[in-house]
Amino acid sequence: MPNIDMDAPGSNQLFIGNEAMARGALEAGIGFASAYPGTPSSEILGSLSEVAKKRDIYVEWSVNEKVAIEAGAAASFAGVRALVAMKMNGLNTVIDFLSTITLSGIGKKGIVVMVGDDPSAHSSSNETDSRPVSKWLDIPLVEPGDFQEAKDMMPFLYGISEEFGTISIMRSVTRIAHARGNIKLGEIPKIAHKARFEQYLDPAAPMPTPIMCVPSSFRHMFQHMRMDKVREKFESCSFNRYVGPDKPDLLIITAGSGWLYSQDAVNALKAENRIGILKLGTLWPLPEKLIKTHLSKADKVIFIEETDPFLEGVIMEYTAGFSPESKRNLFYGKHTRHLNSFGELTPDAVIKAITSVLDIKYAPRDAEYMKKVEAVPQGHVMDRLLTFCPGCPHRASFWAIKNALAMDGRNGFVTGDIGCYTMALGPAGFFQTRTHQCMGAGAGLANGFGQLSRFGFNQPVVSVVGDSTFYHSIIPALVNGVHNHSNFTLVILDNGATAMTGFQPHPGTELTAMGEPAAQISMENICRAIGARVEICDPFDLKDTTRTILDLVEQDQGARVAIMRRTCELVRQKKEKKPYKMQIDPDKCLGEDCGCNRLCTRVFRCPGLIWDAAAGKTRIDEVICTACGVCADICPEGAITKEAIA
Partner 1 sequence: MKNLSKDPINLVVAGVGGQGNVMVSLVIGNALVHEGYFVTIGETYGSSQRGGSVMSHLKISAEKQFSPLIPEGQADVVLGMEPVETLRVLKSFGNQNVVTVVNPRPIHPVDFTGSGSGYPDIQSLLGQIKSMSARAYVVNATDEALKMGNAMLANMILIGALLKNSLIPLSEDALVPVIKDMFPKAVAANTKALKAGADLVSILN
Please state the closest distance from residue 143 (CB atom) to partner 1, in A.
15
Under rule CB under 8 A, residue 367 binds partner 1: no
Binders in 265-294 for partner 1, by CB under 8 A: 268
CA pair distance 150, 387, nearest whole angstrom: 33
Q: According to the binding rule CB under 8 A, does residue 640 interact with partner 1?
A: no
Q: Which is nearer to partner 1, 423 or 552 (CB)?
A: 423
Beta strands 300-304; 180-184: pairing state: unpaired
Nearer to partner 1, 348 or 633 (CB): 348
Residue 246 binds partner 1 (CB under 8 A): no
The region that residue 220 occupies, defined by phi over 0 for left and psi between -120 and 50 for alpha, beta otherwise, is: alpha
Identify the three-state secondary structure at position 316: helix
Report which DSSP code applies to 555.
Answer: H
Terminal alpha carbon distance of the chain = 34
Q: Does 8 bind partner 1 (CB under 8 A)?
A: no
Binding span for partner 1 by CB under 8 A among 223-231, 358-366, 513-521, 541-549: 358-366
**Which among 607, 617, 544, 551 is positioned nearest to 584, based on CA atoms?**
617
- Kindly state the number of chain residues that form the binding site for partner 1, as judged by CB under 8 A: 67
Under rule CB under 8 A, residue 261 binds partner 1: yes
Per-position DSSP letters for 428-491, written without gaps between them: GGTT-EEE--STTHHHHHHHHHTTGGGGT----EEEEEEHHHIIIIIHHHHHHHHHTT--EEEE
Which member of 373, 519, 644, 646 binds partner 1 (CB under 8 A)?
Answer: 373
Asked if 623 touches partner 1 (CB under 8 A), the answer is yes
Task: Report in angstroms how near the CB of residue 74 gets to partner 1 at its nearest.
Answer: 34
Is residue 634 at the binding interface for partner 1, with CB under 8 A as the rule?
no
Please tell me whether residue 423 binds partner 1 under the rule CB under 8 A.
yes
Stretch that binds partner 1, among 60-68, 285-293, 375-383, 484-492 (CB under 8 A): 375-383
**385: contact with partner 1 by CB under 8 A:** yes
Alpha carbons 75 and 187: distance in angstroms, whole number = 23
Q: Are 388 and 569 in contact (CB under 8 A)?
A: no
Contact between 579 and partner 1 per CB under 8 A: no
> Which residues 546-575 are close enough to bind partner 1 by CB under 8 A?
570
- Any contact of residue 603 with partner 1 (CB under 8 A)? yes
- Contact residues for 37 (Cβ-Cβ < 8 A; gap 6+): 45, 46, 61, 468, 498, 501, 502, 504
CB 61 within 8 A of CB 52: no
241: which strand partners? 279
* Angstrom distance (rounded) from CA 234 to CA 219: 22
- Per CB under 8 A, the list member of 99, 100, 387, 641 interacting with partner 1 is 387
- 12 is an interface residue for partner 1 by CB under 8 A: yes
Q: Which of 99, 100, 123, 435 binds partner 1 (CB under 8 A)?
A: 123
Q: Which of 376, 519, 644, 646 binds partner 1 (CB under 8 A)?
A: 376
Nearer Cβ to partner 1 (159/181): 181
Cβ proximity to partner 1, 218 vs 369, nearer residue? 369
- Interface with partner 1 in residues 29-58 (CB under 8 A): 39
Residue 195: left if φ>0, alpha if ψ -120 to 50, beta else—which one?
beta
**332 binding partner 1? (CB under 8 A):** no
Alpha helices for 320-384 (secondary structure H): 347-358, 367-375
Which residues partner with 465 through β-bridges?
A: 492
Query: Smallest gap, in angstroms, from Cβ of residue 366 to partner 1?
Result: 6
User: Which residues have CB under 8 Å from 492's CB, separation 6+?
Assistant: 465, 466, 467, 470, 474, 523, 561, 562, 563, 564
Nearer to partner 1, 291 or 609 (CB): 609
For residues 304 and 295, give the distance between their C-alpha atoms in angstroms, rounded to a whole number. Answer: 15
Binding partner 1 (rule: CB under 8 A), the pick from 7, 366, 576, 587 is 366
Residues of this chain, 139-158, that bind partner 1 according to CB under 8 A: 146-148
| Least distance in angstroms from the C-beta of 635 to partner 1 | 15
Q: Draw the binding track, 169-188, toward partner 1 (x: CB under 8 A; -: no contact).
A: -----xx--xxxxx------
How many CB atoms sit inside 10 A of residue 247's CB?
Answer: 11
What is the closest distance, in whole angstroms, from the C-beta atom of residue 492 to partner 1 in the complex?
Answer: 21
Among 70, 198, 235, 264, binds partner 1 (CB under 8 A): 264
* Dihedral, 388, 394, 399, 402 alpha carbons, nearest 10: -110
Residues 426-455 that bind partner 1 (CB under 8 A): 427
Nearest alpha carbon to residue 604 among 569, 628, 570: 628
Q: How many CB atoms lie within 10 A of CB 438?
A: 16
Residue 356 binding partner 1, by CB under 8 A? no
CB atoms within 10 A of CB 222: 14
**Among 192, 381, 644, 646, which residue interacts with partner 1 (rule: CB under 8 A)?**
381
Residues near partner 1 (CB under 8 A): 12-14, 39, 122-123, 146-148, 174-175, 178-182, 257, 260-261, 263-264, 268, 346-348, 351, 364-366, 368-369, 372-373, 376-377, 379-389, 420, 423, 427, 570, 592, 598, 601-603, 605-607, 609-611, 613-614, 621-624
